[in-house]
């Protein structure tokens, strides 16, 4: 049941982030701005947001009151419906891709009062899966989705609301969502939390940095820094999406680098195949067996930890890391970080979040990399059958990503989360909430 009440003033302040103009500094993204007047929301408003990810599609339905407090949708603060596989799996059949969303659209529309359909924005953001498609495959899928929404939905819809998200947008939306739920808006930037979101095809990092850090941000096609103004407080948010470094993509790259001669990260005794983006990889351990040491070395190659750094501070693959600072001292890590932690018994099932240091992933890897297909389930009873071949690989990757890619102290606690407690209930930690806040805060023009 939903209970409790948060401060309307705090949430009004957060909503007003989108009222003030976004100014530019060198390296700031001018495309991602939340200019425009807040709509007259009346007593309540809804937003329907599709997350078209690499591993599946999800639809989120949110409702807000006039002060931008979340309202219940049914018994929870959001309606969430999912389907698999993701849209990118239908690269050769755009209509089938769009058709896969129809059941989700129908359930989402049923959750919105009919009298509000014409005022309820319908938006789809595609992430790593469609970013990786070649030629016009992604655009053909998006066109089919636009046609579905145009013909079959009575919700408010604009063609530009079906698009591939820029990597910085995805990370910034999640930063907005988690900080909104935690009630940090209006506080100094050092009181906000940083976020790392490990998806299937990409990993995103976002956190608030100093004004000086923002002024010195490198200029890039997908800008590193977004500026946000919250009544009296300006936030400069470093946000970057590392395409092809999501967990599923990293598995594929590891298997590719091992060249089909056995991968030292694969669970002993397993032989099979792995399909990622239509490419089939052979999966087996080498004759010498799974090796934690060799798996760690291979993972360093996957992450390109030794790539040249053209900036003063880099994370991995030569990418600027934002320079660090107070805004990233308190990190929240989500998605596959959470799923792997559950499978490795680091977190109990159904626990929404827990604070742990990255070293726990490494310690679990020591056990997983010594196991075989016959013993691994007795050591990790929560593991999903599909992850049995890859538990050693995934744990080593996630530890290396945190400790050596993003430079997190292995003994420094991070919050691994799936949901955030909000007004006595649990809300999923995902970027669509940040997107819903943006679309309802923008002008209708």
Q: Which residues are catalytic?
A: 170
State the Cα–Cα distance between residues 344 and 140, nearest whole angstrom: 39
Structure tokens at 195: 């976020």
Length of the chain: 445
Has 203 been labeled as part of a binding site?
Answer: yes
Apex 232 CA angle, 121 and 437, nearest 5: 10
- CA distances to 245, 291, 347, 395, 435 from 255, rounded to whole Å, are 14, 15, 27, 15, 35
State the Cα–Cα distance between residues 408 and 358, nearest whole angstrom: 8
- CA distances to 218, 234, 282, 323 from 389, rounded to whole Å, are 40, 46, 12, 37
3-state secondary structure of 247: helix
> Distance of alpha carbon 177 from its chain centroid, rounded?
11
> Distance of alpha carbon 290 from its chain centroid, rounded?
30
Quick one: angle between helices 292-303 and 247-257, nearest 10?
Answer: 110
Which segments within 256-405 are labelled E, that is strand? 271-276, 279-284, 331-335, 353-356
DSSP tally for the chain: helices H, then strands E: 14, 17
Has 204 been labeled as part of a binding site?
Answer: yes
State the Cα–Cα distance between residues 116 and 430, nearest whole angstrom: 24
Residues near 283 by beta carbon (within 8 Å), at least 6 away in sequence = 255, 263, 266, 270, 271, 272, 273, 274, 389
Has 201 been labeled as part of a binding site?
Answer: yes
Which class for 160: exposed (0-12), middle (13-18), buried (19 or more C-beta within 10 A)? exposed
Residues near 375 by beta carbon (within 8 Å), at least 6 away in sequence = none
Residues that constitute the known binding site for ATP: 200-204
């Amino acid at each position: 049941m939903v209970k409790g009440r948060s401060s309307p003033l705090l949430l009004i302040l957060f909503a007003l982030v989108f009222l003030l103009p976004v100014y530019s500094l060198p390296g700031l993204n001018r495309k991602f701005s939340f200019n425009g007047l807040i709509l007259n929301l009346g007593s309540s408003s809804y937003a329907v947001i599709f997350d078209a990810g690499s591993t599946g599609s999800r639809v989120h339905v949110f409702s807000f009151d006039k002060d931008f407090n979340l309202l219940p949708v049914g018994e929870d603060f959001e309606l969430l419906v999912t389907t698999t596989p993701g849209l990118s799996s239908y690269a050769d059949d755009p209509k089938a891709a769009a058709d896969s969303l129809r059941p989700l659209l129908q359930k989402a529309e049923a959750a919105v009062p009919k009298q509000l359909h014409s005022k309820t924005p319908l938006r789809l953001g595609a992430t790593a899966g469609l970013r990786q498609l070649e030629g016009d495959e992604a655009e053909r899928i998006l066109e089919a989705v636009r046609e579905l929404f145009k013909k079959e939905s009575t919700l408010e819809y604009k063609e530009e609301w079906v698009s591939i998200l820029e990597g910085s947008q995805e990370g910034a939306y999640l930063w907005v969502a988690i900080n909104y739920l935690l009630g940090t808006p209006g506080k100094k930037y050092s009181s906000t939390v940083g976020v790392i979101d490990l998806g299937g095809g990409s990993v995103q990092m976002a956190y608030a940095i100093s004004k000086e850090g923002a002024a010195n941000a490198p200029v890039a096609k997908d800008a590193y820094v977004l500026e946000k103004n919250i009544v009296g407080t300006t936030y400069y948010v470093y946000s970057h999406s590392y395409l092809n470094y999501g967990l599923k993509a990293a598995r594929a790259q590891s298997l590719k680098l091992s060249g089909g001669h056995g991968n030292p990260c694969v669970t002993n005794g397993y032989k099979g195949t792995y399909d990622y983006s239509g490419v089939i990889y052979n999966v087996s351990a080498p004759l010498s067996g799974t090796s934690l040491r060799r798996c760690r070395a291979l993972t360093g190659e996957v992450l390109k930890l030794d790539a040249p750094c053209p900036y003063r501070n880099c994370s991995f693959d030569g990418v600027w890391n934002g320079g660090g600072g107070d805004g990233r001292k308190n990190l929240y890590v989500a998605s596959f970080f959470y799923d792997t932690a559950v499978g490795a018994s680091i977190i109990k099932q159904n626990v929404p979040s827990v604070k742990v240091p990255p070293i726990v992933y490494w310690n679990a890897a020591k056990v997983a990399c010594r196991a075989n297909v016959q013993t691994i389930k007795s050591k990790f009873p929560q593991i999903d059958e599909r992850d049995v071949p890859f538990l050693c690989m995934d744990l080593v990757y996630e530890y290396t990503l945190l400790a050596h890619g993003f430079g997190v102290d292995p003994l420094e606690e991070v919050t691994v989360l799936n949901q955030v407690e909000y007004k006595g209930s649990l809300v999923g930690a995902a970027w669509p909430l940040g997107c819903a806040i943006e679309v309802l805060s923008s002008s209708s023009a």
